[in-house]
Amino acid sequence: MNDSLKSLSRAPEAPPTRRRMPAWVIPAAIAAGFVLLFFLLFRDRLLPATEVRVGVVRATASESPSASSAAEVPPPAKDAPMAFQASGWVEPDPLPIKATALVDGVIDEVRVLEGEGVEAGQPLATLIDDDARLALEAARESLRMREAELAEHRLSIEAGEGSVAAAVARAEAATALHSEAGDRLSRVEGLAKGSISETERVKIRAAHLKTRADEAAAQAAVAQQRAEVERLRARVSVLESAVKAAGVEVEQAELALSRTTITAPVAGRVLRLNAAPGQKKMLAMDDPDSATVAVLYQPEHLQVRVDVPLADAAGLQIGQRARIRCSLLPDTVFHGEVTRITGAADIARNTLQAKVRIEDPSDLLRPEMLCRVEFLEVPRGPEITIYGGSLVTWVPEQALDGGTAWVCDPETKRVDRRTVEPASETKDGHRRVESGLRPGEWVVLSPGNLRDGQRVNPNLIEP
């Protein structure tokens, strides 16, 4: 009892005290972490870069390439090592093909969709053809009218020729009567006076004068009928020309009616459809696609549009072999060949565009698919053939360290050691190299203690 009272009266023991962490430790640790991360990410920029002098690898045209050296260069092979690579996009080779409406009109029916295969001459779409049918019927009626006029005119010529024949007969009869009257008058004039009465003599003279007038009138009628026939004959050529013109109008109307059906110019696949029922198609418009119904391409003729960085563009050449890979078919490697190099570089992207024809493309490939193109090395002698010409590569002698040279990337400003094969020929402080360097690259002059991947501060020395 007493023990329990003592325990109740005893003060409770205080819990052991813990040392609290100072409040500034956690912010200090976070700040130290950020400082460490910042140092790891930007240590190259914080540390001073090595100052180096760099020169540019030059290229000159070969003055007299020998036939033997050209013969020693073997043709490019499909299994040659890769020289460089770049991204590109699939597109039709050489160009897409447009199916165009050749007459103005409004789309009535669209018979194909995007991605469908079409045959040459297959209808793609039709225009509303009511006006064209009416124009054709009017042209045909005009032709029939012209033909009827020509037939009627020819009948008039035949009738005129009959009239000429009748007039000639009448003229001959009048001539005969005039001859008979003249003969009677000559006999009467030879008789002595008193043989016939003077009245009879006057009648014979009057009859002779009348037959003369009748003969002249008949001859004039013959001339008039013949002139009319000639006029009718001359008009035949005019009417025949009118018939031909009406026939041409019929052909034009038939052509316009046939053009209301837009057909595929070649066999291929619809790349883009630019038509819908009710849409207008106009030829004389500023919009280049105002009359385009569909854009086609041939799946068996594809190429890759590649943007090659200028640092690698020096290795491009027509006929260069390439390997093409596409994410659509990751296990398939397509082979190709450089067919064209554009005439101007892209100043914004700092690239030069090339076209690479795809050999035996897959039917699954579609235009604008992203591809990766690996350009293969072309075995060369001391001269490099580029864009159809021959170039010789020269490097400053100060950049050579035996059989190596340090190449500086102007974008990352880092250097890497490159093995080169220098030749014995020198020119203006430069030595010719047969392999290992490309024109336009920066090389370090008088390299000291450098290491691969080291960041430097290049100072370009112009010759």
Percent of the chain with pLDDT over 90: 9
Q: Average per-residue pLDDT in the chain?
A: 78
> Can you point out the beta strands (E) in 96-188?
97-100, 105-110, 117-118, 123-127
* Closest alpha carbon to 259 in 293, 296, 295, 297: 293
Mark whether 305 and 448 lie in a shared domain: yes
Mark whether 200 and 291 lie in a shared domain: no
Mean pLDDT to the nearest integer, 5-26: 61
pLDDT of residue 463: 56
* End-to-end C-alpha distance for the chain, whole angstroms: 111
* Closest alpha carbon to 275 in 291, 256, 287: 291
Is pLDDT at 7 greater than 80 in this prediction?
A: no
Mark whether 242 and 269 lie in a shared domain: no
Mark whether 340 and 449 lie in a shared domain: yes
Mean pLDDT to the nearest integer, 141-146: 88
Residue 127: strand, helix, or coil: strand
**Residue 278 in domain:** yes
Helix axis angle, 198-258 relative to 130-189, nearest 10°? 170
Residue 72 confidence class, pLDDT cut points 50, 70, 90: very low
Count, residues in the chain:
463
Is pLDDT at 48 greater than 70 in this prediction?
A: no
Residue 319: strand, helix, or coil: coil
Exposure b/e, 345-379, CB count within 10 A at least 16 = b: eeeeeebbbbbbbbeebeeebbbebebebbbbbbe
**Residue 117 in domain:** yes
Look up residue 419 and give its amino acid: T
Mark whether 56 and 202 lie in a shared domain: no
With residue 237 as reference, give the H or E element that holds it.
helix 198-258
Residue 256: strand, helix, or coil: helix
Mean pLDDT to the nearest integer, 171-200: 68
pLDDT tens track for 115-127: 889 999 899 999 9
**Residue 208 in domain:** yes
**Residue 217 in domain:** yes
Mark whether 269 and 251 lie in a shared domain: no
* Closest alpha carbon to 463 in 50, 51, 60, 61: 60
Look up residue 304 and give its amino acid: V
Distance CA 120, CA 336 (A): 27
Distance CA 85, CA 375 (A): 6
> Is 314:438 a contact under the CB 8 Å cutoff?
yes
**Residue 39 in domain:** no
Neighbours of 240 (CB within 10 A): 14
Residue 386 confidence class, pLDDT cut points 50, 70, 90: very low
Among 7-11, 139-143, 230-234, 381-385, top mean pLDDT goes to 139-143
Strands 456-460 and 50-56, sheet pairing? parallel
Q: Which phi and psi (to 5°) does residue 411 adopt?
A: -85, -50
Residue 227 confidence class, pLDDT cut points 50, 70, 90: confident
Structure tokens, 135: 């124009």
Residue with tokens 């540390």, as numbered in its chain: 47
Mark whether 317 and 426 lie in a shared domain: yes
Distance CA 443, CA 446 (A): 10
**Residue 42 in domain:** no
Residue 176: strand, helix, or coil: helix
**Residue 252 in domain:** yes
Number of domains in the chain: 3
Structure tokens, 104: 């103005």
Give Cβ neighbours of residue 19 (< 8 Å, ≥ 6 apart): none
Distance CA 81, CA 69 (A): 22
> Is 438:380 a contact under the CB 8 Å cutoff?
no
Distance CA 309, CA 349 (A): 8
Is pLDDT at 448 greater than 60 in this prediction?
A: yes
Mark whether 225 and 357 lie in a shared domain: no
CATH number of 72's domain:
2.40.30.170
Q: Is the pTM of this model over 0.85?
A: no
Percent of the chain with pLDDT over 70: 75
pLDDT tens track for 297-343: 999 999 999 998 887 887 888 888 899 998 888 888 899 999 988 87
Distance CA 169, CA 221 (A): 11
Domain containing residue 109: 97-127+263-297
Mark whether 113 and 148 lie in a shared domain: no
pLDDT of residue 356: 92
Distance CA 376, CA 378 (A): 6
CATH number of 107's domain:
2.40.50.100
* Closest alpha carbon to 222 in 270, 148, 163, 297: 163
Final residue in a domain of this structure, among 297, 315, 350: 297
**Residue 374 in domain:** yes
CATH number of 235's domain:
1.10.287.620
Is pLDDT at 260 greater than 70 in this prediction?
A: yes
Mark whether 324 and 408 lie in a shared domain: yes
Structure tokens, 151: 């037939």
Residue 358 confidence class, pLDDT cut points 50, 70, 90: very high
pLDDT of residue 382: 42
Write the CA distances from 385 to 69, 70, 356, 378, 390, integer angstroms.
Answer: 12, 10, 18, 9, 4
Residue 188 confidence class, pLDDT cut points 50, 70, 90: low
Mark whether 238 and 380 lie in a shared domain: no
Mean pLDDT to the nearest integer, 420-429: 83
Mark whether 312 and 456 lie in a shared domain: yes
